[in-house]
Amino acid sequence: MNIKFVVVGKLKEKYFKQGIAEYAKRLSRFCKFSIVEVPDEKAPENLSQAEMDQVMAAEGERILSKIKDREYVFALAILGKERSSEEFAKELKDLTTYGHSDITFVIGGSLGLTPAVLKRANTQISFGRFTLPHQLMRLVLTEQVYRAFMINEGSPYHK
């Protein structure tokens, strides 16, 4: 199984990098894990809606260029479907059971994801209605993917 994150922007904070590296190491038992970063657009404060759309469109094109047709895509979106850790684990297990071995998660930039990226996604997933920095979301998502594998193998990690 291949798990890939396509994310907008570079991770600068050492503590996030360390946390993600730890979970990536743990995930290597279960899957081939990778993170693909696409450049973010410079977006100064007080952009007009048209300028925001332009920024999102540029980032969206970069994201879509990193996704292959066969990949099953989860788009992280505030309005996506919330799942419990157990529901998420079952969903990942079911996907692999039904032939989806390439699973991709998309985390947009500070303005979110374009309709084109959301349309390409097979499903949208939400971690609640909080707005989180996308750097922190990478760490949270990495941990939740690891947790899903641990749930599926019946490990006490989840408790």
**Element spanning 140, H or E:** helix 134-152
Beta pairing partners, 153: none
Which spans in 11-133 are helix H? 14-27, 49-64, 85-97, 115-120
Report the pLDDT value the prediction gives residue 130, as an integer from 0 to 100. 86
pLDDT tens digits, one per residue of 104-146: 999 999 899 999 999 999 999 999 988 888 899 999 999 999 9
pLDDT tens digits, one per residue of 58-84: 999 999 999 999 999 999 999 999 999
CB atoms within 10 A of CB 151: 21
Give the sheet arrangement for strand 123-126, strand by strand: 32-38, 2-8, 102-107, 72-82, 123-126
47 labeled part of a ligand binding site: no
How far is it, in rounded angstroms, from Cα 3 to Cα 82?
Answer: 20
Task: Kindly state the percentage of the chain with pLDDT values over 70.
Answer: 99
Domain ranges for the chain:
2-158
132 labeled part of a ligand binding site: no
- Model pTM score: 0.96
Cβ(71)–Cβ(128) below 8 Å: no
Q: What class, spelled out in words, does domain 2-158 have in CATH?
A: alpha beta
DSSP type of residue 98: T
pLDDT of 159 over the 90 cut: no
Cβ(127)–Cβ(116) below 8 Å: no
